[in-house]
Amino acid sequence: MNKISFLLVTILIPFFLVAQNTGIQFTNASSWKEVLDLARAEGKYIFVDCHTTWCAPCKAMSSEIFPMQEVGDFFNKRFISVYLQMDTSKKDNDFVKGWYSDASMIKNNYTVKNYPTFLYFSPDGALVHRTVGSLTADRLIDEGNAAMNPERQYMTLMKKVEREDVSPRELRNGAKAAQAAYEKDKAAKLALRSMEAGTINDFLSKEGFEFLSFYTVNSQTTTDVGFRMILENSDLIDSTIGKNASAQVITEMLGKEVRGEIDEAKDPNWDKILDFLQSKYPRYAERTLFAEKTRYFSQNLLWNEFVMTIEERLKSDPLSIDSESLSNFVLLIATGDKVDEQGHMAGLKWSKQVLAIDEQTAERLFFHAVLFYKLGKQQEAVAWQQKAVDEASDEDQPWFQEVLKKMSGGQELGF
């Protein structure tokens, strides 16, 4: 989209959304009171799209999702829909300005901090549901259905989880709903409660373990119940979920425990860190040290040490580095700043290993091509990048084609 088109879309979106023939028909009501009166009179729920003029996901929802026929068919029958701008700008028309006061009231009363936020009200004006972030058409319709279903409404779920006799699954559903509403602290507390109220058997499904892992890594420490549950049941988890499923979480948690000391040191004492890890978690000490070394060296552009660490690991315990991990190391080398020829050669060797034993995805073929290109082997780079183009999805192909064009012309890649 060129600059002129972008400006036209930005300026015209408020008018287009109210007047469009397909998609959501946003109300022309000039105040929140008028919306409430309309909802009561028609027996409809209220859908409020809280957006700002600077929010890119908000613009995407407005130009791509709201105008869709199936979205309009669903919302127009069931909701009074309000397109509510939450910030102010010099370009605001009289209609937008007329909503300034009510927008401020809604922002404060319903704690709107992130955009887009979607608020859903019952016909009598009570907040029943909320989500944050852009959604697909199917997800938006599903959330609209949830808003009208007392069993799925966010506010109802939050009331349920306040009970003392609530089940681990109800707490888990409450945590997921709070996360979708961007109430992260509440979500973390509910997740912790679900773990305290349950056993490992409550989390042995794929969805259950993803939940356990996410909240353990993102909101807990090694002294909390999630980590202990995974540590004490690692063999059961791996046999049920998959090889190394538990080790990935445990390694990340142990890394968090020693990361402060590592990052504060100009020259980390790796032997001391290994001794600490072996004294508390001997089974995961070497794995954690390796993960922290590669993280530290790549972040600090110490590529020789980075390469040496991986090469030593490949020699001593090659099965400990799976193809996905090796692919990530290839990515870092291929796109890293100040990587020398030795580093690129090592990355190319690892890339060949991955391509020989695992799926040749467009991304992996692309990084393989980049390494050839950075080593000055243009002909090989172009050949591999063509393979990446051939494997790329329709959506990604233009970008891969652009890289191919740059490689063919001997241009800088820009990374």
Closest CA to 292 of 313, 332, 266, 262: 262
Residue type for 53, please?
T
Residues 374-389 have pLDDT tens digits of 999 999 999 999 999 9
pLDDT of residue 415: 86
C-beta separation of 112 from 86 below 8 A: yes
Other beta carbons less than 10 A from residue 267's beta carbon: 5
**415 residues of the chain, pLDDT tens digit each:** 444 344 334 444 444 444 456 899 999 999 999 999 999 999 999 999 999 999 999 999 999 999 999 999 999 999 999 999 999 999 999 999 999 999 999 999 999 999 999 999 999 999 999 999 999 999 999 999 999 999 899 999 999 998 888 999 999 999 999 998 999 999 999 999 999 999 999 999 999 999 999 999 999 999 999 999 999 999 999 999 998 899 999 999 999 999 999 999 989 999 999 999 999 999 999 999 999 999 999 999 999 999 999 999 999 999 889 999 999 999 999 999 999 999 999 999 999 999 999 999 999 999 999 999 999 999 999 999 999 999 999 989 999 999 999 999 999 998 8
Separation of alpha carbons 275 and 371, rounded Å:
37
Q: Which SS3 state, helix, strand or coil, does residue 68 take?
A: coil
Closest CA to 147 of 168, 60, 139: 139
Separation of alpha carbons 118 and 113, rounded Å:
11
Q: Whole-model pTM? A: 0.76
C-beta separation of 267 from 239 below 8 A: no
pLDDT of residue 164: 82
Closest CA to 292 of 261, 320, 314: 261
pLDDT of residue 110: 95
- Phi, then psi, of 132 in degrees rounded to 5: -130, 135
